[in-house]
Amino acid sequence: MSDNLEAQKDELLALASIYDEEEFCRADSGREGEIHLCLELPPDFKLIIKEPTCVEYGILFLPIILSFDLPVDYPSSSAPVFTLSSKWLTGVQITTLCKRLDELWEANRGNVVLFTWIQFLKEEALQYLGIHSPLEIQRFAGQSQGESGQTQAAEKSKPKELDPRAVQEVDHRTDILNHLLDFDEAQKQKVFDGKVFCCGICFSEKLGSSCLLFKECQHIYCKACTKEYFEIQIRDGKVQFLDCPETECTSIATPAQVKFLVGEEEFARYDRLLLQSSLDRMEDVVYCPRTSCCTPVMLEPKTTLAICPSCRYAFCTICNRGYHALSQCIATAEEIKHLREEYFAASEIRKKFLEKRFGKQVIQREVENYFSTEWLKGNSKKCPSCGTHVQKDRGCNKMTCTSCWKYFCWLCFTVLSDNNPYDHFSDQNSKCYNLLH
């Protein structure tokens, strides 16, 4: 008996040195435990779900659990008492694996066998069952199984009576797909955390556990550099540009990655600005015009009335002033001042909006004023005495204002004498003498 206990102790110590606490769990008794095995798959392995539509998922790892209890006379006489459990294998498939574990024990009777079982399950189980990519699974328990042809053929050659040690850890509420995808993601992260990478910013070599991976582009930077980069962008309000620091790379960091790195205050600002940015792009959302409120307001179709759900302010969605029913929006002097330039540069949709807001007559008047002003600038000059626009269509450079009847020089805008206005043009000291001689 002492030899058996010594062999058991050595075997369990060996397993504890190979697997971490998450993978290898021992009971207080010392002879019971669970081994959470991770089956490593080929790089192009796919899971497939056919209901309601056919969708493929690329994965690298699948889980299976081996629970054991070592009898007192193990390994000299008895085999370990075990159960084999899985959420994605069928009862027949798990039964087939249980029978194979029995065969391996018989082939190694008298020797410790747990490590042999583990190696078989990790390295040979899929091939032994005839499972290959794509592996079709049912998302929820109780659905009809639809394994590949090879798997069905393998099952037909195996015993159909289910082994009581074969455990399917599922019920009708279990989402098998999400369980497998979560397990695969966790294992990928575990592998990543154990590798060494060179940060593309500080060029230091660090473990993956101290790095951040942009999943879309697979670029890697240390968390310290990425944290500082994110915080600068957030402080500047550039929440739409929390992308990969790689030049010309457009991969965007996920909100979960941002939350993991930055502080609570920075993430709260990021979350608020990101929401506001999303609302700004929604055509049916405006903000309450009261500066003390600014709550987002959903627009109702075919009406210009909006009521803020927070402060209950009723306002016009066109001019953002108090609601005025069918009355025309009143434009401020500043708005009218820039209306012409805005209207000329606007798209057709924007022009219709401006016409709806200010009225076509107001815009037409401003456009006419604009063209009148532009024509006057190019075809007339202002009287230096009263400022009236005067047009010259013929004759000499002595002009007479039609408003104040003052004489002035067309060339230099000098007000001329009423008695002898032509003396100006022969005066050598006048501003335009050199232009005329």
pLDDT value for 85: 93
pLDDT value for 197: 93
Mean pLDDT across 311-334: 80
What is the per-residue DSSP string for 127-180? Answer: HHHT--SSEE--SBTTSPP---HHHHHHHHTS--SPPTTEEE---TT-BHHHHH
Residue 233 has pLDDT above 50, yes or no: yes
Give the model's confidence band at 157: pLDDT under 50 very low, under 70 low, under 90 confident, else very high.
very low
Please name the residue ranges forming H helices in 19-51. none
Q: How far apart are CA 109 and CA 79, in angstroms?
A: 8
User: For the chain, what percent of residues have pLDDT higher than 70?
Assistant: 85
pLDDT value for 29: 67
Q: What is the pTM of this model?
A: 0.57
Which of 132-136, 172-176, 415-419 has the lowest average pLDDT? 172-176
pLDDT value for 146: 43
CATH of domain 194-271: 3.30.40.10
Summarised one tens digit per residue, pLDDT across range 103-124 is 999 999 999 999 999 999 999 9
Q: What are the extents of the domains in the chain? A: 2-174, 194-271, 282-326, 333-379, 384-437
Q: Which fold has domain 2-174?
A: Ubiquitin Conjugating Enzyme (3.10.110)
Mean pLDDT across 82-88: 93
Domains 2-174 and 194-271 share a fold: no
Q: How far apart are CA 286 and CA 293, in angstroms?
A: 12
Q: Are 237 and 230 in contact (CB under 8 A)?
A: no
Q: Are 242 and 258 in contact (CB under 8 A)?
A: yes
- Beta carbons within 8 Å of 219's beta carbon, 6+ residues apart: 200, 213, 244, 245, 246, 249, 251
Active site members: 396
| Amino acid identity at 393 | D
Pairing of strands 135-136, 46-49: parallel
